[in-house]
Amino acid sequence: MKLKAIVSASILFFVSPSIGTAQEATGCASGTRCLKVTKDGKVDAAGTFVAQCSGRFPDFIAPQARINGWAGERFRLSQNYPPADAGTDAPWRTIDFRTPEGADAYVLALRDYAYEGMIEADFRPEASAGRRWYHMPMMNFGSGSREFVHGLTEERPVTGPELGLKSGVRIRDFAVGFYNAAAATTIARVWAADDPSLVNTAFPPGSMSFKVLFSTAQAADFADGIDRLAGAPTWQIYENGQTIDVRLMQMDVAAAAPDTQTGWVFGTLAYDASAADTSTWRRMRPVGLSWGNDVGVKPSEIAAGTKKLQETIVSSLAPAFAAQHLGWAGRMNGPVDNPVSGCLSCHGTSQSPRAPLIPMNSCTTEDQKLFWFRNVPGSVAFGQVDQSTCQPSSSGNPMAALDYSLQMAVAVQNVLQFREVNPCAGADPMRTRLLRVWKGDFAVDDQIPPESDRIQR
């Protein structure tokens, strides 16, 4: 059933079809509400999916058949977002990240900040005795949605020979992200109602987020047979009666940096199997960081030696497999990230409606690809690109910047574009949903893009 749209200058009302009465399901954690729903979150007594509700937003929405038989812990969304935070809990802000030594110190400071209390809690915020960490809501839909054990979303898979894998071998990668209290104030503001408000999406000073990425990669997957992840922390996910081991490969960190053009510093760490740290979590070593997109620098110029990157530092501590898998023209990137892009470049596309994360196939020249490597402030939308010509375009529709948060972009898209529903809001949600945009008119597109568009989180 299609939705009837009523468009005004800056407010769009969707009149939704009727939603069924809540019926309890099974398979959820003790003390939570367990609802039968459809795959898009609509409460339905005949639904074959389960929504676990421990708060206002669902912890997970998963097929009933997938969770049957799992006797372990269930993921709980950390969603008691603070309305305000001073942003002073940010010890990394005294470190000069623009030198090689400072860059390593900065990335390690962010790593250690993230680890405090979380290693012991197995990265379940509700069990941590340390500072509070929070998750992004409404990432429960599509082919890469949150799984129900750790809240991992499925990321970009890697296929050999990339990353030294055997040709044709494909590994799966999963990740879960966390936001500190300062960053969570923005989540609280955007998601104050069931539908997101995109009026003010900026993350304040002191904001920090991190993401731990796990992989199915095994020694036999690599062409040289060397296990890059020997001894790495291991988690388990559960799919259709099968337990799958995934091991820590990468960790991404990001911190608000008002003194940079982009407003952010992005760093990456990779697992070093040769490290001697007693805690295997602390065997994560810096790959490097970037605070800008090195505007105008092309791969051909790097190869010719006529230019050098000025806003990227690659660490001398980086494990070899990670140091050999950087981004476009050597920009900062992680082992499971797409090498045609870079950390800041990819996150710089965060906006609503979504923009292409990386240059499309029609972007054949280096000059065309440079559009993705601008130092765009987080308060400015990336823009749109014509997919057939690779030229910047203007559809006349308003765009809201999402301050370098791809998770925010995915969550907003789930609700505003894919029209997913929050089943935990109540048994009979309002039939009319108010969708807020920052200004202007925009067209309503009934064509829903393929779910594969939502894999990159």
- Contact in structure between 266 and 289 (CB atoms under 8 Å): yes
Determine the pLDDT at residue 438.
38
Which residue pairs, CB below 8 angstroms and at least 24 apart, start in 169-174? 169/221, 171/215, 171/216, 171/217, 171/221, 172/215, 172/216, 172/246, 173/213, 173/214, 173/215, 173/216, 173/249, 173/336, 174/147, 174/213, 174/214, 174/215, 174/237, 174/246
| % of the chain surpassing 70 pLDDT | 88
Greater confidence (295 vs 68) lies with 295
Could you tell me which residues are beta bridge partners of residue 12?
7, 435
Distance CA 37, CA 27 (A): 13
Mean pLDDT check: name the lowest of 133-137, 144-148, 248-252: 144-148
| % of the chain surpassing 90 pLDDT | 79
Structure-block tokens of residue 390: 């690779």
- Give the end-to-end CA distance of the chain in Å, rounded to a whole number: 28
Determine the pLDDT at residue 388.
87
Determine the pLDDT at residue 25.
85
**Mean pLDDT across the chain:** 89
Confidence category of residue 424, pLDDT binned at 50, 70, 90: very high
Render pLDDT for 186-233 as a digit per residue (tens, 0 to 9): 999 999 998 899 999 999 999 999 999 999 999 999 999 999 999 999
- Give the list of residues 6+ apart from residue 85 with CB closer than 8 angstroms, or none: 181, 182, 184, 185, 204, 206
Is residue 107 over pLDDT 70? Answer: yes
Q: What is the mean pLDDT of residues 67-81?
A: 94
Render pLDDT for 321-375 as a digit per residue (tens, 0 to 9): 999 999 999 999 999 999 999 999 999 999 999 999 999 989 999 999 999 999 9
Greater confidence (427 vs 409) lies with 409
Is residue 13 over pLDDT 50? Answer: no
Confidence category of residue 68, pLDDT binned at 50, 70, 90: confident
Q: Please give the model's pTM, rounded to 2 decimal places.
A: 0.89
Structure-block tokens of residue 263: 């407003």
- Contact in structure between 192 and 408 (CB atoms under 8 Å): no
Render pLDDT for 295-332 as a digit per residue (tens, 0 to 9): 999 999 999 999 999 999 999 999 999 999 999 999 99
Domain locations along the chain: 4-419+431-445
Q: What is the mean pLDDT of residues 374-390?
A: 92
